[in-house]
């Protein structure tokens, strides 16, 4: 799903080129997507089984030649080889979790999953209502992805197994009866225990307290009395505490204050902020600010002076590729606190500029950012990249990626008012891989803008003007990369020579590491 347009937030972890083994489960992809206006992921053939859980909003899912209306709390399954599409409602946009997977028949525990596989292959209706709290299971999976926790792989295997079992049960069973310990077998205590579990599992779906009393068939006053007796707090107080705890979880997952307020059913951002401050002593915005990571700057160049800082950069060696692009030292200049990379006609091709930090600065992980003004003429472009050094195949671990290169910025698609982020690598089996995300905004070709990348152990997060545009995970890479700013064209690009010369203007480049 990494190519999608019209998304507000996308946490995407792709392993389809080399699926991760968790017992008999082969994990191809797992993620979280919040749709924007006019979102559609496009009709495509499903390459593996996929479970989609609708966390909020509503829309339409297509598979097996039929359209299905989906809304919050629905589960939708798609088989390998089925055509599939998802469209979001514009008035109530979707947020959905998804997991793409397959099975390893050679694993000794595979037979336990045969009922699930048969259900996936044979179920007439791909749509069911979640009865076993898939929301919490998915968010726990995401929590494991974003951290390097002790026994991470074992916990992920357990959570993936629980997710598949919960999906299977949602299709074949009625809602479960909550457990009440033997010492709480009196009717009132068993009811209280069941209500607590129900609220904890469904807090994002409960928007009025009356829904709880209606669900259990008891008067609201009686249920509220139970809570006052056993918790020394009212049902309303307990309900608000659960909602605000869930709000903190969402804020920690980088959702905006507006999105959290809407998902939890508050009547306004002001109301949400007031309750949050009463509970925690700070507003939601202040909470997000205080929980941000602490960074230490490791690189900065604002391009002062009239010469390139040789302790930070080298001019890329003069080189010709595709018979069109000629990197030339003369096409790189500093002036008025800016770095200029320009293009000029040169025979049948074009002279252009390029610089890199190779052998001067490199870094594994951290945050990297460029602030620049893009080109004015279509047909050539600028790239801000992180590039690998030559690698020996024998030096990598068996499960580690090789030859990683990342384009934080590529402005090739100027005619579409787009820029792109790109990741290229070689997977552990030796297969070259490539994924890309386009960001469309005509304003990016006017004035200065920033383009950034946060690279952690578990994921890559891209930003434009400090707003997240793409989040993805491809696997493990533990070697440093150096930075390069380069310009390029191609035989098919059709530069309008009458509008040359042209230039790209760079205000600064900086990098950080976590303290």
Q: Of 236, 269, 290, which residue constitutes the final position of a domain?
A: 290
Q: Are 205 and 332 found together in one domain?
A: no
Q: Where are the alpha helices (DSSP H) in 173-268?
A: 187-202, 210-216, 220-231, 235-252, 257-263
Taking only the tens place, the pLDDT of each residue in 248-263 is 877 876 677 888 888 7
Taking only the tens place, the pLDDT of each residue in 475-512 is 778 899 999 999 999 988 889 999 999 999 999 999 99
Taking only the tens place, the pLDDT of each residue in 357-369 is 999 999 999 999 9
Q: Are 281 and 302 found together in one domain?
A: no
Distances (CA, A) of 226 to 200, 306, 414: 17, 76, 64
Q: Are 158 and 212 found together in one domain?
A: no
Q: Are 286 and 299 found together in one domain?
A: no
Instruction: Look at residue 1 and tell me if it is in a domain.
Output: no
User: Rounded distance, CA 460 to CA 34, Å?
Assistant: 18
Q: DSSP for 413-457? A: TGGGTEEEEEEEEE-TTS-EEEEEEEEE-GGGGSS-EEEEEEE-S
Summarize the confidence of residues 403-424 as an average pLDDT: 92
DSSP assignment letter at 376: S
Q: What is the number of other CB atoms lying within 10 angstroms of the CB of residue 360?
A: 15
Using DSSP, state whether 363 is helix, strand or coil.
Answer: strand
Highest mean pLDDT among 181-185, 298-302, 387-391, 412-416: 298-302
Q: Are 36 and 53 found together in one domain?
A: yes
- Nearest CA to 416 out of 450, 381, 383, 385 is that of 381
- Nearest CA to 427 out of 4, 18, 11 is that of 18
Q: Give the CA count within 13 Å in the CB-facing half-sphere of 45.
A: 2
Q: Are 164 and 242 found together in one domain?
A: no
Reported confidence tier of residue 1, pLDDT bands at 50, 70, 90: very low
Q: Of 256, 290, 324, which residue constitutes the final position of a domain?
A: 290
User: Rounded distance, CA 468 to CA 311, Å?
Assistant: 31
Q: Are 240 and 126 found together in one domain?
A: no
Q: Give the CA count within 13 Å in the CB-facing half-sphere of 377.
A: 21
Q: Are 323 and 273 found together in one domain?
A: no
Q: Is 57 left (phi over 0), alpha (psi -120 to 50) or beta?
A: left
Helix 235-252 vs helix 220-231: crossing angle, to nearest 10:
80
Taking only the tens place, the pLDDT of each residue in 25-47 is 999 999 988 888 889 888 888 99
405 phi and psi angles, rounded to 5 deg: -135, 140
Helix 152-172 vs helix 134-146: crossing angle, to nearest 10:
160
Q: Of 245, 265, 290, which residue constitutes the final position of a domain?
A: 290
CATH of the domain at 417: 2.60.120.200
Token code pair at residue 171: 């299709």
Q: Are 356 and 428 found together in one domain?
A: yes
Is 145's pLDDT higher than 80? no
Q: Quick check: 1 and 10 in contact, CB under 8 A? A: yes
Is 204's pLDDT higher than 80? no
Instruction: Look at residue 94 and tell me if it is in a domain.
Output: yes
Question: Does the predicted TM-score (pTM) go above 0.75?
Answer: no
Q: Quick check: 269 and 477 in contact, CB under 8 A? A: no
CATH of the domain at 277: 1.10.10.60
221 phi and psi angles, rounded to 5 deg: -60, -35
Instruction: Look at residue 220 and tell me if it is in a domain.
Output: yes
Distances (CA, A) of 44 to 63, 78, 483: 10, 11, 36
Using DSSP, state whether 16 is helix, strand or coil.
Answer: coil
Reported confidence tier of residue 146, pLDDT bands at 50, 70, 90: low
Q: Are 209 and 161 found together in one domain?
A: no
How many structural domains comprise the chain? Answer: 3
Q: Quick check: 315 and 329 in contact, CB under 8 A? A: yes
Using DSSP, state whether 203 is helix, strand or coil.
Answer: coil
Q: Are 470 and 343 found together in one domain?
A: yes
Give the model's pLDDT for residue 184: 44
Instruction: Look at residue 177 and tell me if it is in a domain.
Output: no
234 burial via Cβ count (<10 Å: 0-12, 13-18, 19+): middle
Q: Are 272 and 320 found together in one domain?
A: no
Find the domain containing 143 and state its range. 7-172
CATH of the domain at 20: 2.60.120.280
Taking only the tens place, the pLDDT of each residue in 425-477 is 987 778 888 899 999 888 999 999 999 999 987 788 899 998 888 888 787 78
């Amino acid at each position: 799903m990494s190519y999608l347009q019209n998304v507000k937030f996308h946490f995407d972890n792709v392993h389809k080129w080399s699926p991760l083994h968790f017992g008999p489960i082969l994990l191809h992809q797992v993620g979280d997507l919040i749709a924007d206006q006019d979102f559609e992921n496009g009709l495509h053939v499903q390459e593996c089984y996929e479970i989609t859980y609708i966390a909020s909003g509503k829309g339409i899912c297509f598979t097996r030649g039929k359209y299905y209306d989906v809304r919050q709390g629905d589960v939708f399954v798609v088989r390998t080889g089925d055509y599939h599409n998802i469209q979001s409602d514009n008035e109530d946009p979707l947020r959905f979790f998804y997991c793409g997977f397959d099975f390893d028949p050679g694993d000794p525990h595979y037979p336990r999953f045969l009922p699930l596989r048969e259900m996936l292959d044979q179920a007439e209706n791909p749509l069911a209502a979640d009865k076993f709290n898939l929301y919490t299971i998915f968010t726990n999976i995401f929590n494991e992805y974003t951290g390097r926790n002790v026994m991470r792989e074992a916990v992920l295997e357990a959570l993936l197994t629980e997710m598949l079992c919960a999906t299977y049960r949602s299709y074949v069973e009625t809602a479960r009866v909550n457990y009440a310990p033997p010492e709480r077998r009196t009717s009132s205590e068993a009811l209280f225990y069941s209500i607590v579990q129900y609220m904890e599992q469904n807090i994002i779906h409960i928007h009025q307290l009356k829904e709880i009393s209606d669900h259990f068939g008891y008067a609201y006053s009686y249920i509220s009395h139970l809570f006052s007796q056993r918790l020394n707090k009212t049902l309303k107080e307990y309900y608000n505490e659960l909602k605000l705890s869930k709000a903190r979880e969402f804020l920690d997952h980088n959702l905006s204050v507006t999105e959290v307020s809407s998902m939890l059913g508050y009547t306004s951002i002001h109301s949400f902020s007031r309750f949050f401050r009463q509970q925690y002593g700070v507003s939601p915005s202040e909470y997000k600010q205080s929980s941000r990571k602490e960074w230490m700057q490791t690189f900065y160049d604002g391009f002062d002076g009239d010469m390139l800082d040789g302790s930070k950069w080298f001019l890329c060696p003069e080189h010709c590729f595709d018979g069109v692009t000629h990197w030339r030292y003369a096409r790189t200049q500093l002036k008025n606190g800016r770095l200029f990379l320009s293009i000029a006609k040169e025979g049948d091709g074009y002279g252009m500029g390029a610089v890199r930090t190779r052998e001067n600065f490199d870094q594994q992980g951290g945050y990297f950012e460029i602030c620049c003004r893009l080109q004015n003429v279509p047909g050539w472009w600028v790239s801000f990249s992180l590039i690998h050094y030559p690698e020996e195949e024998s030096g990598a671990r068996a499960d580690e990626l090789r030859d990683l290169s990342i384009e934080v910025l590529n402005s090739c698609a100027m005619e579409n008012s787009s820029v792109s982020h790109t990741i290229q690598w070689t997977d552990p089996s030796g297969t070259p891989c490539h994924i890309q995300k386009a960001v469309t905004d005509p304003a990016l070709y006017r004035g200065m803008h920033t383009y950034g990348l946060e690279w952690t152990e578990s994921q890559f997060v891209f930003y434009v003007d400090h707003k997240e545009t793409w989040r993805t995970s491809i696997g493990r890479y533990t070697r440093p990369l150096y930075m390069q700013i380069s310009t390029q064209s191609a035989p098919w690009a059709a530069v309008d020579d009458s509008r040359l010369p042209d230039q790209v203007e760079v205000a600064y480049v900086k990098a950080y590491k976590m303290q």
